[in-house]
Chains A and B, each alone.
Chain A
Amino acid sequence: MTNDLVLGVAGAGGDGVISAGEALMTAAARDGYRAMMTKSYGSQIRGGESSFRLRLSTEPLWNIGGSLDVAVALNWDDFLRFGAELPVGGRTTVIYDSASGIAIDDLPLAGVSPQEAIAVPLSEIAREHAGTGKAKNTVVLGLLAGWLGLPRDSLLAGLRKRFAKKSPDVTEGNERAFAAGIAFAEAHPLRSTRRLEPPQPPMVPRLLTDGNDMCAAAAIFAGCSFFGGYPITPSTEIMQFLSRELWRYGGTVLQAEDEIAGIGAVVGASFAGRKAMTATSGPGMSLKSEILGLATIAELPLVCVNVQRGGPSTGIPTKSEQADLFQAAFSAHGDAVRPVIAPTSVADIFGTTVDAFNIAEQYQTPVILLSDAEIAQRKEVVDPIDTTVFTLVERRVPNDRELEHYMRFQITESGVSPISHPGMEGGNYLASGIEHAESGAPTASGVMHARMNEKRIEKLAPLKSRRDLFTIEGDPAAPLAIVSWGSVAGVAREAANLARREGIRVKILIPRLLYPISEEIFGEFFASVRAGLVIEQSHQGQLYRIMRMFVDVPRGLESLARSGSNPITPAEVLDRLRAMVTTLQSVRVPEPEPPPG
């Protein structure tokens, strides 16, 4: 028995790979397994190859895992197109359609010998029992139910639901194909241990969703009542979710004519007093840059989600990358500092989105929520979220006394000035992208410009002490460290856990606040550190470089960074850590310190 399993399935468009994956995940999640699933497609709009990766476990999961435990190739050509996304290794069980005619000892795996390979007459079983080769995916479900010990009743219930609208023939055919898959699995037991331990059913129902939907739901929870945006992969589902749901809460959604108009309308709605959000990806961020600057100088709250994908330009729209951190931090002209925060998982994007709204409203600033395609598109079983722990921040509006001699941009101790909105008598002011005096009147005064820059930047200083925006785990005195962010932080976290289990003294820092950089929190963290890794999915290692701008990092701190679409795995991180230990002789735990004196 095992308690953790990574499964990858690929086939041609029309093979029903994705629907099989959804069915498998839903059934397993219903029965109490933790699960994570990513889907991947060829670049065709319809048809073409498709695949999914599903990780199932009885324990909480941080990432989608590395090398596959079980690989299913409905078709080898399609399977191989996914390359590093579906890595087969020496410990993989490979299942494929014997109709391919490929011999077990001649698999097209470029020298890799999997632990076990089984050719199953998938097409033949499907035709025999369901009367159509289309039911191959259902045969695979049966095989996996049999071999992995997955809950048959839940899977069967899912099948019936899925085919509910089809004719009884189709449903019955698929039920027979499912049973035949199970029968084949029982008649041909695996040599490798792939059977999953039964899960502990949760006391409270868990949630099942992806990062984009979770982000949109969090926006509703946080009080967002206006969304303006434009369709762009891989962020579009945020707009789609809100287009369906936001109206129910009295909100408005505008699909704008372009990215600029989307954020323009959001600025307008915020000026009018609403909590407002837009969502986009790299190319859209480039277009929104000017209006983000306007929101900074006009001190208008808004949340701008960037679901990062491969760049520059169109890049690889469907693949995840973390290469927009420089853009998020630095793409404004002028001395503009705006908070950049990043979620680390589907579960985490709920709280991070709420934080984004709270920071925006409290400090009257645009906030960039730097999500990534991995989180956005990944489906995940999420533990119930206690929403009562969140406090929702509302912007500070002027009181009656302040409205008597209202100054919109009054210099205050905190740098935050009460903000009025149209409809408030006495609060009338001129919002502008032009530099302004405290009253809002345009100015070209150098003195006023310097004071306003200081106000706008210094008002954000308290953020840098927000320890809740940083996750730190492990021995505070550890000489070895990992820093990671976004979806890749899940990989880093698992690697750190594995390393600690081997006795390696390593601690990990996962900043959700990426900008402005907290010199204090990074500085403290690095105090004990002699060597370490900054792990991120970009060619340049952008967090590594930004940290070095603001913090004295340890000399032994290295960047483990790679372009998107080339996944970083826990095993690989662990290897790097082991190598670092060898160099840093003293970092193994056992030897106790000699007593003082």
Chain B
Amino acid sequence: MMTTTSTSSYAAKEYKSDLKPIWCPGCGDFGVVQAIYRALAAVGRPPHEIAFVSGIGCSSRIPGYTTAYGFNSVHGRALPIAQGIKLARPDLLVLVAGGDGDGFSIGGGHVAHAIRRNVDLTYIVMDNQIYGLTKGQLSPTSTKGLKTVSSPHGSIEDPVNPLMYVLGYGARFVAQGTPADMNGLADLIEAGLRYPGFAFINVQSPCITYGRVEAQLKAYKAAMRPLDTASRPAGAAEKRSSWTVGHDPTDRLQAMKLAAEYGRTLYTGIFYKDSAPEPTYEALAGERARSLTASGSSRAEILKIFALR
């Protein structure tokens, strides 16, 4: 389905609403929302043509801080709601956001299906490895051994690896960023928004109140290893800086190797991007509807289908 993409005439601040965020001062999510404003301005769709859906959690407050049509729904169900919106109105730009609990615990079952349907959504998970809104319990991405109010003796579970999870289900666009690198994050979100299919962006967005010391912006800034995904002529790899990591984002297995480092090495950038995207669900659905509506059936005459003759 063709979408009408107007050239950018919106400044980043035009995507910012008047609502004051409830987040704690220093929360990583401030950086994420700034990156979203920038990415939206780069893409340039007017706010009323954007739907921004979230679940429940600190990060799920984010749609309200934009001027888009927002939907702060219920815990874990942002993806099904967003799919309903996109299928109903394929012309809209649809973003989905939430936390790691929303996406990989209570709503984890929906992620696989959003991926395999390949609905054109950009799903941003603000992964802080903790339940912040309920004041500091274990989350699905919390590290093993972590002591929290709900695991006073330490966690005895392995964390979910969101990147492996989505790559394993065949996601066609997978990236990871952090507000410790605002420019990089805005670029990744923009790339996700422009990707014609389901795009997943894991954002290491620290919880300043309940997060670990080593999971804060300063630490992330020092630890992050950007993926250098620019294509270069063969033999030119040595020109890369020692800080960045060369990566071919069309190689799913290589992407999985990097993803396996989740929790140990903070790679940022595009892990995987299908260079030959398949048609989206809504494109196929639209084709079907167009071919079947050609017969010109009238709703008023539907009962003829049951007529005894």
- A residues contacting B by CB (< 8 A) are 26, 29-30, 205-209, 213-214, 217, 220-221, 223, 225-226, 228, 245, 247-252, 254, 256-258, 260-262, 264-274, 276, 290-291, 293-294, 298, 350, 381-382, 384-385, 387, 421-434, 441-442
Q: Are the C-beta atoms of A430 and B71 separated by less than 8 Å?
A: yes
Q: Are the C-beta atoms of A247 and B289 separated by less than 8 Å?
A: yes
The contact sample of 9 A-B pairs, CB cut-off 8 A, is: A207-B307, A245-B305, A250-B289, A260-B80, A261-B79, A268-B83, A271-B69, A272-B84, A428-B68
Closest 7 CB pairs of A and B: A268-B84, A264-B80, A265-B84, A261-B80, A272-B88, A269-B88, A207-B306
Q: Are the C-beta atoms of A423 and B91 separated by less than 8 Å?
A: yes
How many chain B residues touch A (Cβ–Cβ < 8 Å)? 54
Q: Are the C-beta atoms of B110 and A257 separated by less than 8 Å?
A: yes
Which residues on A sit within 8 Å (CB–CB) of B47? 428
Q: Are the C-beta atoms of B109 and A254 separated by less than 8 Å?
A: no
In the bound complex, CA of A249 to CA of B290 (Å) = 9
Q: A426-B48, A429-B70 are in contact. Are A217 and B85 (CB under 8 A)?
A: no
Q: Are the C-beta atoms of B84 and A276 separated by less than 8 Å?
A: yes
Q: A205-B308, A249-B293, A433-B73 are in contact. Are A254 and B83 (CB under 8 A)?
A: yes
Q: Which of B51-106 contact A (CB under 8 A)?
A: 51, 53, 56, 61, 63-64, 67-74, 77, 79-89, 91-92
In the bound complex, CA of A257 to CA of B88 (Å) = 18
Q: A252-B285, A268-B53 are in contact. Are A442 and B87 (CB under 8 A)?
A: no
Q: Are the C-beta atoms of A274 and B88 separated by less than 8 Å?
A: yes
In the bound complex, CA of A26 to CA of B307 (Å) = 11
Q: Which of B14-62 contact A (CB under 8 A)?
A: 19, 46-51, 53, 56, 61
Which residues on B sit within 8 Å (CB–CB) of A245? 302, 305
B292 at the interface (CB under 8 A from A): yes
- Cβ-neighbour of A209 out of B53, B81, B306 (below 8 A): B306
Q: Are the C-beta atoms of B85 and A271 separated by less than 8 Å?
A: yes
- B residues contacting A by CB (< 8 A) are 19, 46-51, 53, 56, 61, 63-64, 67-74, 77, 79-89, 91-92, 109-110, 112-113, 285, 288-289, 292-293, 295, 297, 299-300, 302-303, 305-309
Q: Are the C-beta atoms of B293 and A248 separated by less than 8 Å?
A: yes
In the bound complex, CA of A427 to CA of B51 (Å) = 12
Which residues on A sit within 8 Å (CB–CB) of B109? 257-258
Q: Are the C-beta atoms of B307 and A205 separated by less than 8 Å?
A: yes
> Shortest distance in angstroms between A211's beta carbon and chain B's nearest beta carbon?
12
> Shortest distance in angstroms between A256's beta carbon and chain B's nearest beta carbon?
7
Which residues on B sit within 8 Å (CB–CB) of A422? 48-51, 69, 85, 89, 92
The total of Cβ contacts below 8 Å across the A-B interface reads 195
Which residues on A sit within 8 Å (CB–CB) of B73? 264, 267, 294, 298, 431-433
Q: Are the C-beta atoms of B308 and A427 separated by less than 8 Å?
A: no
Which residues on B sit within 8 Å (CB–CB) of A428? 47-48, 67-70
Residue with the greatest number of chain B CB neighbours at <10 A, chosen from A214, A385, A434: A434
Q: A248-B295, A267-B73, A433-B73 are in contact. Are A217 and B306 (CB under 8 A)?
A: yes
> Shortest distance in angstroms between B44's beta carbon and chain A's nearest beta carbon?
15
Q: DSSP majority for the A interface?
A: mixed
In the bound complex, CA of A262 to CA of B86 (Å) = 14
Residue with the greatest number of chain B CB neighbours at <10 A, chosen from A213, A214, A265, A290: A265
Which residues on A sit within 8 Å (CB–CB) of B303? 207, 217, 221, 350, 384-385, 387
In the bound complex, CA of A228 to CA of B87 (Å) = 11
Q: Are the C-beta atoms of A251 and B289 separated by less than 8 Å?
A: yes
Further 6 A-B residue pairs, CB within 8 A, beyond A217-B302, A256-B113, A265-B83 = A207-B308, A223-B299, A228-B80, A247-B292, A249-B293, A294-B74
Q: A268-B84, A276-B84, A423-B92 are in contact. Are A217 and B305 (CB under 8 A)?
A: yes
- Cβ-neighbour of B289 out of A252, A268, A421, A431 (below 8 A): A252
In the bound complex, CA of A298 to CA of B61 (Å) = 15
- Cβ-neighbour of A265 out of B61, B67, B87 (below 8 A): B87
Q: A217-B303, A223-B299 are in contact. Are A272 and B77 (CB under 8 A)?
A: no
Q: Are the C-beta atoms of B77 and A261 separated by less than 8 Å?
A: yes
Q: Are the C-beta atoms of A30 and B308 separated by less than 8 Å?
A: yes
> Shortest distance in angstroms between B118's beta carbon and chain A's nearest beta carbon?
13
In the bound complex, CA of A265 to CA of B63 (Å) = 18
In the bound complex, CA of A30 to CA of B84 (Å) = 42
Q: Are the C-beta atoms of B306 and A228 separated by less than 8 Å?
A: no
Q: Which residue of A is nearest B70, CB measured?
A: A430
Which residues on B sit within 8 Å (CB–CB) of A421? 69, 89
Which residues on A sit within 8 Å (CB–CB) of B112? 257
Which residues on B sit within 8 Å (CB–CB) of A206? 307-308
Q: Are the C-beta atoms of B64 and A290 separated by less than 8 Å?
A: no
Q: Are the C-beta atoms of A264 and B77 separated by less than 8 Å?
A: yes
Q: Are the C-beta atoms of B110 and A268 separated by less than 8 Å?
A: no
Which residues on B sit within 8 Å (CB–CB) of A382? 306
Q: Which residue of B is nearest A434, CB measured?
A: B72
Q: Are the C-beta atoms of A272 and B51 separated by less than 8 Å?
A: yes
Q: Are the C-beta atoms of B85 and A252 separated by less than 8 Å?
A: no
Which residues on A sit within 8 Å (CB–CB) of B70? 428-432
In the bound complex, CA of A267 to CA of B53 (Å) = 12
Q: A261-B113, A268-B85, A422-B51 are in contact. Are A248 and B297 (CB under 8 A)?
A: yes
> Shortest distance in angstroms between B73's beta carbon and chain A's nearest beta carbon?
6
Residue with the greatest number of chain B CB neighbours at <10 A, chosen from A249, A266, A424: A249
Which residues on B sit within 8 Å (CB–CB) of A26? 308
In the bound complex, CA of A76 to CA of B293 (Å) = 50
In the bound complex, CA of A69 to CA of B285 (Å) = 51
Which residues on B sit within 8 Å (CB–CB) of A271? 51, 69, 71, 81, 84-85
Which residues on B sit within 8 Å (CB–CB) of A250? 289, 293
In the bound complex, CA of A55 to CA of B19 (Å) = 64
Q: Are the C-beta atoms of B82 and A268 separated by less than 8 Å?
A: yes
Which residues on B sit within 8 Å (CB–CB) of A207? 303, 306-308
> Shortest distance in angstroms between B93's beta carbon and chain A's nearest beta carbon?
9
Q: Are the C-beta atoms of A205 and B64 separated by less than 8 Å?
A: no
Which residues on B sit within 8 Å (CB–CB) of A221? 299-300, 302-303
Which residues on B sit within 8 Å (CB–CB) of A264? 73, 77, 79-81, 83-84
Q: Which residue of B is nearest A422, CB measured?
A: B69
> Shortest distance in angstroms between B306's beta carbon and chain A's nearest beta carbon?
4
Residue with the greatest number of chain A CB neighbours at <10 A, chosen from B67, B77, B110: B77
